[in-house]
């Protein structure tokens, strides 16, 4: 794999050597030819430098995105540890809020579907008709919940 910065440095050294050669040229045509070659080499070096700068910006952007994703995953991991999968019977499951330290939220259930997608969505009580997830619209019928409520 080539290194654009190293190539640009190498090219600039070549340009310096060519400039030294121009001192000895006496024929106008040769001078113009050398100037054109010098200009072309300079353009290539500038393009390489710009490409390298673009690559660097792309990498910095990626590092920033990965840092944010890492922080989000750490936050998710810390928050998800306060939930336990609870079997309500009849194949109905919820993520029940069970904090290990001083609770920061009231007792509640979270949607298992959203939980598996790294999102905590609190099931909303629809009174007699059961619970519903406000995000994915999962419904937990009231007759399955019975007298169980989040504690
Ligand atoms: Zn949901």
**Centre of ligand 1 from the C-alpha of residue 75, in Å:** 19
Q: At what angle do helices 4-22 and 28-80 cross, to 10 degrees?
A: 160
Residues 56 and 14 in one domain: yes
- Predicted pLDDT at 10: 78
- Predicted pLDDT at 121: 96
Residue at which a domain ends, from 39, 72, 105: 72
**Centre of ligand 1 from the C-alpha of residue 135, in Å:** 5
Is the pLDDT score of 1 beyond 70? Answer: no
Residues 94 and 118 in one domain: yes
Is the pLDDT score of 74 beyond 70? Answer: yes
Identify whether 26 is part of a domain.
yes
For residues 133 and 123, the answer to whether their CB atoms sit within 8 Å is yes
pTM: 0.60
User: Distance (Å, rounded) from C-alpha 87 to C-alpha 121?
Assistant: 18
**Centre of ligand 1 from the C-alpha of residue 71, in Å:** 23
Residues 8 and 31 in one domain: yes
**Centre of ligand 1 from the C-alpha of residue 123, in Å:** 8
**Centre of ligand 1 from the C-alpha of residue 112, in Å:** 7
Residues 97 and 65 in one domain: no
Print the domain residue range for 122: 81-145
Q: What is the pLDDT of residues 98-116, one digit of tens each?
A: 988 888 889 999 999 999 9
Phi, psi dihedrals of residue 92, rounded to the nearest 5°: -100, 130
């Amino acid at each position: 794999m080539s290194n654009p910065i190293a190539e640009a440095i190498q090219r600039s050294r070549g340009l310096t050597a060519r400039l030294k050669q121009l001192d000895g040229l006496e024929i106008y045509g040769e001078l113009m030819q050398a100037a054109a070659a010098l200009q072309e080499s300079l353009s290539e070096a500038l393009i390489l430098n710009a490409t390298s700068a673009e690559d660097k910006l792309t990498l910095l952007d990626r590092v920033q995105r990965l840092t944010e994703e890492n922080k989000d995953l750490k936050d998710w991991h810390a928050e998800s540890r306060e939930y336990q999968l609870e079997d309500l019977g009849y194949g109905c499951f919820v993520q029940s809020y069970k904090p290990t330290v001083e609770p920061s939220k009231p007792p509640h259930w979270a949607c298992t579907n959203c939980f598996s997608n790294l999102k905590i969505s609190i099931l909303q009580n629809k009174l007699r008709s059961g619970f519903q997830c406000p995000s994915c619209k999962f419904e937990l019928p009231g007759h399955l919940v019975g007298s169980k409520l989040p504690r």
